[in-house]
Structure 1
Amino acid sequence: MSRTTRLASLLAVASVTVACSSSPSSDGEAPVYRTSDDVQARVLPQIAANGEDVEAADDALWVVDATIDGVDEGTTVTLLAKADGQWESVSDAETDADGHVSLTSDTAGKLTVVAGDGADAIGTEVSTDDAPEATFTDDFDEDDVDGKDSTWHTRAQGFTGVRQCSRADASAAEVTDGVLVLSVLEDPDGGECQLPGRRKRFPQRLNGHVGTEGTYGFTYGYAAARIRTQSARGQHAAFWMQAVGGQQTGGPKAGGAEIDIMEYFGDDHPEGGLTSFTYYLDKAGKKQTVGGWLPDVDELGDDWADQYHVFSVEWTPSEYVFRIDGQVTQRLEGETSGREEFLILSLLSSDYELPRFNGELPESMEVDWARVWATGP
C-alpha cells in the first residue's frame, strides 16, 4: 500500500465514531478489523477502581494504553473482551491530540483494540496475561500499623521542617474494616503554635504518616494506592516515595528522588487541589523540582473526598507517568531515580496550610489498598 493510500485510509478511520451501542462486534461475534501497525497497545496492571465502596485490589480494572497513529483528535477507540464465549464492548474513549487513549477492562484474557468500523476498522490484539504481576499488595485486611510484623510504621520525626506545628503520631493511623485511616488530630498533650509573622495561634496537631522504610522497597515499576481524600483545606493527603537510606547529591539516578505520586490540598482549591512532583538533589546539592499542579482536574473528577480513586505512577529509567484510574495526568520525561524507593502514605498539616484550614478536626483520608508491580532495572 502506498503512503498516500494508507493516509487516506487512516483519515477515513478518523471520521468514524464508534459507540458502545454500535461496536465493531455484533451479536457477540468476533470483531472484524484489519490488523495494523498503526495501532499500538499494551496492557497495564489493574490500576483503575473508582467508587464509594471498599474493593479488593484484585477486583480493580486492567488498563489498556493505546496509541493510534495518523488519526484526528477525538477519534473513538473501542476495547472488546471475550466472556462466556461472547465478544462485547467493555470500554471506549476518544483519542487525544497525540492519538493516545486509555481504556479499561474488568475481564481477564484476550482483548481487542479497534478504531473505526466496517471495512475501515483497524486494530490489534492484547492480553491481560502480558501485564506485569503484582509483587506487593496490602488490602489492609489484617495488617496493622507499628506492630512487630507490620509493613507500615509511623514516621515519627517530631516537629521539623515545614511542620513546626504538627508531628506524626501512631494514634493518627489506624487500620479498621479493611481500610487504613490516616487523620489530622488536635494534640491532646500539645499547646498552641504561633507561625512567624502571624498573630493567630493554632493548636498543635498530630498527623497520620506511615511508610514501608525497612520493610519494603523496589526499583522501577508501578506503584498504586486506592485513596479517598480529606475534603477540607489546611492539610493534604499524599501518596509518595523516598529513596531508601535518604536522598543523596548527584542527580536522581545516583542520589534517588522524592516521588510525590499525589498530593490533595482540599476541595475548592483555586489550582484544583491535585499535584504530582518529583524532587532530587543535583551535583551541587541543590534541590530541583519537576512537576506541578495537575491541569484540568475537573475532567478527572470532583469527588475526591466522596469516592475512592486509584493514584499511580509508572516509573522507568527514562520517565515517570502519573495516572488517576488509568488516565494519564502527567508525564515527566528525563532521568529518574535509580535507587530503591519505599512507600509513604500520609495526611499532613504543614505550617503554610494552617491559615487556610476550613474544616473540623479530626480530618481523615482513607486508603483501601496499596500495590506495587516491580519490574526491576
Structure 2
Amino acid sequence: MRRSQRTTIVRRLTTLATAAVCITALAACAEDAKGKTSSLTQADYEDGEGISATVLPQLAAPGDDVQASTDADFVVDATVQGAEAGRTVELQVAEGDEWRVKDSAETDADGRVSLTTGAAEEFRVIALGDKPVGINLSTAEAPAEIFVDEFDAQDPAAWATRDQGYAGVRMCSKASDDAAQWVDGVVRLSVLDDPDKGDCTYKKDKFAYRLNGHIGSTFNFTYGHAAARIKFQELRGQHGAFWLQGLGTVPVGDPMDTGAEIDVIEYFGDDHPDGGLTSFIYWHPTAKGKMAGGWLKKPEQYGDDWSKKFHVFSVEWTPEEYVFRIDGQVTNTITEGISGRPEFLVLSLLSSDYEIQHLQGDENLPQHMDVDWVKVWAPTEA
C-alpha cells in the first residue's frame, strides 16, 4: 500500500472517529463550535428555506453578579422543518467579511432550538447537515421595551407593599415594608421574624410570626413578554416568586374577562424533593377555580445554583398561550386559562403556613431573594 493511500485511510478513520464522538456527545461538539469561523457562504443555503426563526427580547443572563438589563442576551427561537432531534443549529454573527459561531445547540424532537446572541445587529441561523438551511436576521426585529426597573433606587410610584397579612394560607405571616429593601442594585425581598408578635400556632406547632417581602407594580399591560432576573432564597420554609395578577376585581367567569394569576416562576428551596421550581396558571371559571402547570421536571437542564446565581425567568403571554422560559429555554407552554385583562407585576418571598415547618428552626431567618431587574416588552409581531 502506498503512503498516500495509508494517509488517506488514516484521515478517513480519524474523521469517522470524530463523527462518532459527536454523535454520542452532540452538545459537547456544539459547544466546541462556538467562536469558530464558518466557511458557509450565502450560496450554500437558501435564505429562509426550511427554517423559521423569531427574534425574542433579551431574556438570557445567567451569572453571579448584578448587571444591566441591556447586557442580557437576545434569544432566538428557531424551528427546522422536518428535523429530527439532535440536528446541530448554529447562530453566526457577522464580523467584517466573516461569520463567527456565537451559539450552537441541537434541535429537540419537534425540530425546535433556542439560541442566544448579544447586541450584534446582523446574524444568521444555520441548520447544518448535507443540505444546510438558514435564515438571516437582526436584533432590530426584537419586540420593543415598554417597562423596565433596574432597582438602582427605590421608586415609590412604581412599587408598593401589598395589603396581605395574617389571613388565608398565611395566618402566620404578613407583608411588610421592612421586608423589601433596595440595596446594591437589587430589590431584596426577605422573610423576617416579626418583632412585634410572639409565636403562631399551626397544626399544634409554634413558629415565630413572620414578615414577608411582597410588592406589586403600578404598571400593567396586556400581552407581551415579562421577565425578571432573580437569585432565589436558599432554604425551604418559604417560596420566592415572580407573578402577574389581573387588574381590578372580576371574581368568576371567563379568564378573558376575569384575568388569571400567572405564576411565571416559584422556588421552594434548594433541597425540595421535586426540584423546587414551578410555573402555574390559576383562574376561576367557577367559584372553585382551576389550575394548569406544575413542577419543572429535571430543572438542571435549564441551569443550576438557583440560590447562588441570577437567572432570567420569563413568560410570553399571547391571546393563545403562555410560554415560560428560563434564560431563553422553553420550560413549559400552557394554552388554558388565557387572561384577556391587563395584568400587573408581583415580586414576593412568602412564608405560607403549609411550608413554614420546613425551615427547621427560626434561627435560619432571615431568608433573602434578590431581584436584579424586571422588564416588559410588547408582543412579538407575527
TM-score by length of 2: 0.88
1:323 aligns with 2:317: no
Aligned to 2:177: 170
Contact 2:91 2:104 in 1 (8 A): yes
Give secondary structure in 2 for the equivalent of 1:135. Answer: strand
Letter in 2 for 1:271: D
CA shift in 2, pair 1:320/1:177, >3 Å: same
Corresponding residue number in structure 2 for 1:226? 229
- The 8 Å contact of residues 278 and 289 in structure 1, kept in 2 or not, is answered as yes
Give me the whole-angstrom Cα distance separating, in 1, the residues matched to 2:306 and 2:115: 21
Q: Is the 8 A contact 1:73 1:98 kept in 2?
A: yes
Report the count of equivalent residues. Answer: 354
Distance 1:27 1:298 in 2: 31
Over residues 311-331 of structure 1, what are the superposed CA-to-partner deviations in whole Å (9 max), with x where a residue is unaligned? Answer: 000000000000000000000
Cα RMSD over matched residues? 2.3
Letter in 1 for 2:227: A
CA contact (8 A) 1:186 1:205 kept: yes
2:132 pairs with 118, 121, 124, which one?
121
Pair 1:176–1:22, CA change in 2 (3 A) = closer
Residue 374 of structure 1 and its aligned partner are, at CA, apart by 2.7
Change (3 A) 1:367 1:110: same
Q: Does 1:374 align with 2:378?
A: yes
Deviation at 1:375, TM superposition (A): 3.0
> Residues 56-110 of structure 1: CA distance to partner in whole angstroms, max 9, x if unpaired?
0011000000011111101111001124554211101111111110000013312
Q: Any idea what SS the aligned residue of 1:98 has?
A: coil
Partner of 1:269: 272
Which residue pairs with 2:91 in the alignment?
Answer: 79
Q: Give me the whole-angstrom Cα distance separating, in 2, the residues matched to 1:163 and 1:341.
A: 23
Could you tell me whether the CA contact under 8 Å between 1:83 and 1:107 is conserved in 2?
Answer: no
Change in CA separation of 1:376 and 1:38 when aligned onto 2, cut-off 3 Å: closer
Higher helix proportion (structure 1 or 2): 2
The equivalent of 1:42 in structure 2 is 54
Deviations 1:181-200 (Å, cap 9, x if unpaired)? 000000000110111xx332
Deviation, structure 1 residue 177: 1.4
Preserved contact between residue 255 and residue 284 of structure 2 (Cα < 8 Å): yes
Q: How does 1:322-341 map to 2 (within 5 A)?
A: 322-334=324-336, 336-341=338-343
Q: Distance in 2 between matches of 1:253 and 1:369?
A: 28
Q: Which moved more, 1:232-241 or 1:108-117?
A: 108-117
What is the alpha-carbon distance in structure 1 between the residues aligned to residue 148 and residue 297 of structure 2?
A: 30
TM-score with structure 1 length normalisation? Answer: 0.89
Change (3 A) 1:289 1:334: closer
* Deviations 1:113-141 (CA, angstroms, capped at 9, x unpaired): 10115x62111112111110110000011
One-letter code of the match for 2:377?
W
Give 1:369's aligned amino acid. Answer: W
Counterpart of 1:365 in structure 2 is: 369
Structure 2, unmatched stretches of 5+, are 1-22
Report which stretch shifted further, 25-34 or 222-231. 25-34
Partner Cα distance (1:35, 1:27) in 2: 16
Change (3 A) 1:188 1:23: closer
Unaligned runs of 5+ in 1: 1-14
Native 8 Å contact 2:256 2:338 kept in 1: yes
Q: Distance in 1 between matches of 2:322 and 2:345?
A: 16
Q: Deviations over 1:325-357 (max 9, x none)?
A: 000000002451000000000000000001111
Deviations 1:25-75 (A, max 9, x none): 847875643334320101000000000010000110000000111111011
Which of 73, 84, 99 is equivalent to 2:111?
A: 99
Q: C-alpha distance in 2, partners of 1:21/1:170?
A: 48
Q: Secondary structure at the match of 1:336?
A: coil
Aligned letter for 2:238?
Q
